[in-house]
Amino acid sequence: MSQQELNKSLGYFPLIALGVSGVVGSGWIYTNGSFFADYGAGGMIFGLALGSILAAFVALAYAQLTSLFPRAGGEVVFGYTLMGRRWGFWAGWLIIGAYVSSLAFYFTAFGNLMDRVLPFMHLIPLYEIAGEPVTLPVLISGVILTLLFLGLNYFGVSLGGQLQVLLFAALLFIGFCLVVVGFTQGSVDNFWPAFTDDQNPVTNIIRFIVPGMTYMAGFGLVATLAEDANLPPKKIGNLVVLTVLLAGSFYCIVLMSSAWILPWEEVAGMDQGTISAFTEAGFPLLGWGAFAIAILGLLTSFLGLYMATSRVIVAMARVELLPRSLAKLDPKRGTPKNALLCVSAITVALGWLGPGAIGWFLDTGGIYLGLVWVIVVLAQARLFKVFPHLAKKTRAGSRLLPTIGAVGAVLVILFALFPGSPKSLIWPAEYVILVLWFALGIFFYAVSSKRATITEDQALYDLLGEYKDTLEEVKVNPAATDTNFSTGDIKPDVS
């Protein structure tokens, strides 16, 4: 049985827009004041730059694997093809956990941000969870936003891509204005020295590397949407790395402008970071521009992650890691209608918990993403052993830099799990959520393994499509290894 493919309608610029703006969120531009206070302006900006470089190292592994297997689901494809069924499941399960947590957060964050211009958003409180009230207007705005993105994606990914390009262009334009005014009307003396006398520069930079890596969450979106792209596979792979570099540069330069326009120690005491900095410096219009970046960053991240989550679900359903019906595509539009409906339902259901409870889910998402990055780097390393003939066909043959990036990902996980660290999970709620998500994953994997009827050959065909043919050489290569895809075990060929 042949597997219907997604409609290839994303061009170069829509894919860049989806990738970069899928990384650039909203909170960073109005919370940087508190980070300046804790780490110094230099600690945040230089730490974020180093965190971006480590994320780019991981992105090199993504780039190599995406150029070989440009199929929907990215991490699921890499894990399943190179490490077996079990690893394919966990790559997908963890990335879904991270992405739906962010989507649910954006569900209420949009209404809460709009409260700045629409004061009625905080009226008609319905209930309170984790100390945060949930109001009717905020819930309605979240539902409308979710349905809007459902409609855009249902009628074709190109519509969402075109909207993303427009929003991304607006994001870049406003950022450009902030940077020009910040650097021309401000002074280097406002930024330097970038630390107070009681802050250790080296220590504070190192301390922010871990949260800096979490700022880059979502760069795998390009790999996840690879099947939607009408581009050569190698170019799609290169865009994964470019996404990280562009997003990291945008973060650092805009944040630098807010530490340039006023003395950064003053910005450190402001409630709304960059928004307040430009307003207090005498540029209220740019203060509103910074607020617009927060809104645009939220919308673009929501749209990008919404699309990516549906593709992860499709990839898992194709190989019966989730119900096969979730892989069904609309015959006319080539869009994953069932997966999109599934993502919408989960987003709305979790979104109704409100920002207090969703904050718990959002924090655990950092651990999921760190684990997925490690899985992808391990998959890249396995490529050299399982399919050496494929590894030789790509330029990104080095494993050293991705391994260094994976070490950074492990630090993200350890900082989150270790009680008392600056980024540790909240006890006990977030630890309970973490355990429950893994327990639920174990249950779904056991059920899917018991009910699976698909053969290994058909699974790889459905997952890889025409790119399955690139694996065939391994069958006649005595130096290669054999993978037991039903269990995920790797068996060396001793012939």
pLDDT tens per residue, range 166-194: 999 999 999 999 999 999 999 999 999 99
Cα–Cα distance measured from residue 375 to residue 273, given in angstroms and rounded to the nearest whole number? 36
> Given a cut of 70, is residue 3 above it in pLDDT?
no
Q: Rounded to the nearest 5 degrees, what angle is found at the Cα of 26, between the Cα atoms of 20 and 29?
A: 105
Q: Which of 229, 306, 375 is nearest to 21 (CA)?
A: 306
268 or 385: which leads in pLDDT: 268
- Average pLDDT score over residue span 409-438: 87
Assign 477 a pLDDT band (cuts: 50, 70, 90).
very low
Task: Kindly tell me if the per-residue pLDDT of 485 is higher than 60.
Answer: no
Residues in Cβ contact with 428 at an 8 Å cutoff, skipping those fewer than 6 apart: none
Residue-wise pLDDT for 286-324, tens only, equals 999 999 999 999 999 999 999 999 999 999 999 999 999
Burial of 67: CB neighbours in 10 Å, binned 0-12, 13-18, 19+: buried
Give me the sign of the Cα torsion angle 221, 222, 223, 229: positive
What's the CA gap between 98 and 346, in Å, rounded?
13
φ and ψ at 344, to 5 degrees?
-65, -45
CA-closest candidate to residue 190, choices 139, 125, 261: 261
pLDDT of residue 33: 93
Structural domains of the chain, count: 1
Report if residue 3 sits inside a domain.
no
Listed in sequence order, the residues at least 6 apart from 181 whose beta carbon sits closer than 8 Å to its beta carbon are 257, 261, 278, 283, 286
Which is more confidently placed, 1 or 242? 242
* Cα gap 54→374, rounded to integer Å: 12
Confidence of residue 419 (pLDDT cuts 50, 70, 90): confident
Of 161, 11, 159, 4, nearest in space to 71 by CA: 4
Report the alpha-carbon distance of residue 434 to residue 489 in Å, rounded.
26
What pLDDT shows up at residue 395? 58
Please report whether residue 481 resides in a domain.
Answer: no
pLDDT at 236 > cutoff 80: yes
pTM: 0.91
How do the residues of the chain divide into helix, strand and coil, expressed in percent and rounded to 5? 75, 5, 25
The predicted pLDDT at position 238 comes to 93
Tokens found for residue 303: 């749209």
> In this predicted model, which residue has the larger pLDDT, 387 or 94?
94
pLDDT score at 158: 79
pLDDT at residue 119 greater than cutoff 70: yes
pLDDT in tens, 28-78: 999 999 999 999 999 999 999 999 999 999 999 999 999 999 999 999 999
pLDDT over 90 at 27, yes or no: no
Q: Which domain holds residue 51?
A: 12-471
Which of 46-55, 248-257, 408-417 is the least confident region? 408-417
Residue 219: CB atoms within 10 A of its CB come to 29
Per-residue pLDDT, averaged over 349-376, amounts to 89
Residue 476 lies in a domain: no
The answer as to whether 487 is a domain residue is: no
Looking at the domain assignment, is residue 122 inside a domain? yes
Q: Using CA atoms, how far apart are residues 51 and 35, in angstroms rounded to an integer?
A: 15
DSSP 108-159: HHHHHHHTTT-GGGG-SEEEEETTEEEEHHHHHHHHHHHHHHHHHHHT-HHH
**Which tops the pLDDT comparison, 121 or 412?**
121
Work out the average pLDDT over 439-448.
97
Domain presence at residue 484: no
Are 353 and 108 spatial neighbours (Cβ–Cβ below 8 Å)?
A: no
| Span 239-251, average pLDDT | 95
* Side chain identity, residue 16: I
**Mean predicted confidence (pLDDT) in 3-13:** 83
Q: Enumerate helices (H) and strands (E) in the chain, giving the number of each.
A: 19, 4
**Is residue 75 assigned to a domain?**
yes
Which phi-psi region, left, alpha or beta, contains residue 84 (left: φ > 0; alpha: ψ -120 to 50)?
A: left
Residue 16, domain CATH: 1.20.1740.10
pLDDT grade, residue 358 (50/70/90)?
Answer: confident
Tell me the per-residue pLDDT of 264-284, one tens digit each, with 9 for 90 and over: 999 998 999 999 999 999 999
What integer pLDDT is reported at residue 382 of this predicted model? Answer: 94
Per-residue DSSP letters for 237-274? HHHHHHHHHHHHHHHHHHHHHHHHHS-HHHHTT-TTHH
